[in-house]
Amino acid sequence: MMKRAEPLTQLQSIEPNTGSPPLPRAAAGESKAPAEARSLLATAWMRIRRSKIALLSLCVVVAIMVFAILAPVLSAMSGNDPFTSNTSPEVLDDFQTPGLPLPGYMYPSAQHWLGVEPGLGRDLFARLAYGGQVSLTIALLSTAVSVVLGTVLGAAAGYFGGKTDAIISRIMDLFLAFPHLLLVLSLTPILQSRLRDTPLGEGSFLPMASLVIILGFFGWAYLARIVRGQVLSVREREFVEAARSFGASHVSVLFRQIIPNVMGVVLVYATMLIPTNISAEAALSFLGVGVKDPTPSWGQMLNAAQSGNWYLSDPWFLAVPGVMLIVTVLAFNLLGDAVRDALDPKASRH
């Protein structure tokens, strides 16, 4: 008697005879599953790794930040600090006498890795490292202030709409209408005089605190406008309506549903704002309203090279902070472009 044919089970499949064992049907979807389940940051990191320029800029940014963080360690290794002057009469006479050939100790040596500055003879390597600490601290803190203000105010304007949107939008227009640099130049001395009798006005904290407040306060409007535009579309999504239907408060919806879904735009803008604030700090210190001597910063070092016309007799003194500033700003800008491309939702995920 013939046996009755058994029905196909879920584990069985009919495959053409190709000479190789058939693949399970689940394998066809395995290549797509990781891409679909991959988070936004994981997708961005995958795309950044595939770009040589992005990786190089990321390595440069990390190296500069490590250089600034380890400033005390590196200065101790070099045997110098950023404040001690070379009081040798011969050295000071050579520095202060115009027209003399540049002495060898003004250039990199075993004792001074990047040479010494003219006039006071302070070690350039130590001042560059500590100056990077000051410049990056001001840039990062002011960027954080701008990002927090811009994200919260922009999200509130887009989510609530009505009078709230109108008031915040007019304030944004007001901030964007005024010339940024002129406002900062005029308000920074006023703010410093107000902060002088506060805990923030002690020692070198005064110029740093004033620059963080000024740059952060005047840098949020553009981000707020971008976030507002994103929130106008996100607030109509199904998950927002679902959160409202379950009785979530406006604050909960705003901070748990709305803002997390615009963090890609915020991250891109923050990455692009850091080099802008680095350049702004350097410009303000160069113009004399930012960090002042003896506190080192890259902008203050440029100011010192210009104020005594040392760039004519000692161009190396101007080149050291200038090149460091250019490399840092360029690396952050390239990294910002890479992050923007990596977080672009229109780009295909691989």
Distances (CA, A) of 319 to 63, 83, 301, 308, 310: 19, 20, 10, 15, 11
pLDDT digits (tens, 9 = 90+) for 168-201: 999 999 999 988 888 888 888 888 888 888 877 7
Q: What digits encode the pLDDT tens for the residues 27-65?
A: 444 444 444 456 667 777 888 888 899 999 999 999 999
DSSP for residue 24: P
CA 339 to chain centre: 11
Query: Tell me, what's the pLDDT at 343?
Result: 81
The pLDDT of residue 88? 55
Nearest to 46 by CA among 341, 346, 287: 341
Query: Which amino acid appears at position 13 of this protein?
Result: S
- 116 secondary structure, DSSP code: B
What is the rounded CA–CA span in Å between residue 341 and residue 47? 8
Tokens 């410009």 locate to 283
pLDDT at 223: 94
Q: Which is nearest to 289 in space by CA: 218, 214, 220, 219?
A: 214
Percentage of the chain beyond pLDDT 90 is 46
Reported as a single tens digit per residue, the pLDDT across 66-85 is: 999 999 999 999 988 999 87
User: Each residue of 70-129: pLDDT tens digit?
Assistant: 999 999 999 889 998 765 554 444 444 444 444 556 778 788 899 888 877 889 999 999
The stretches of 15-123 forming alpha helices (DSSP H) are 26-30, 32-37, 40-49, 52-69, 71-78, 89-96
**CA dist., res. 230 & res. 70, Å (int):** 39
Q: What integer best gives the mean pLDDT of the chain?
A: 82
8 A C-beta contact, residue 71 and residue 134: no
Packed helices 124-160 and 205-217: angle between N→C axes, nearest 10 degrees? 30
Nearest to 181 by CA among 75, 294, 276: 276
DSSP β-bridge partners for residue 123: 116
The CA dihedral of 317, 84, 303, 62, to the nearest 10 degrees, is 70
Q: What pLDDT, on a 0 to 100 scale, did the predictor assign at position 105? A: 60
| pLDDT bucket at 21, cuts 50 / 70 / 90 | very low
Segment 199-209, tens digit of pLDDT: 777 767 888 99
Residues 124 and 82: their CA atoms lie apart, in Å, by: 7
Residues ≥6 apart with Cβ < 8 Å to 127: 82, 117, 296, 301
Does residue 293 or residue 135 have the better pLDDT? 135
**Fold (CATH) for 124-342:** MetI-like fold (1.10.3720)
Output the pLDDT for position 61.
96
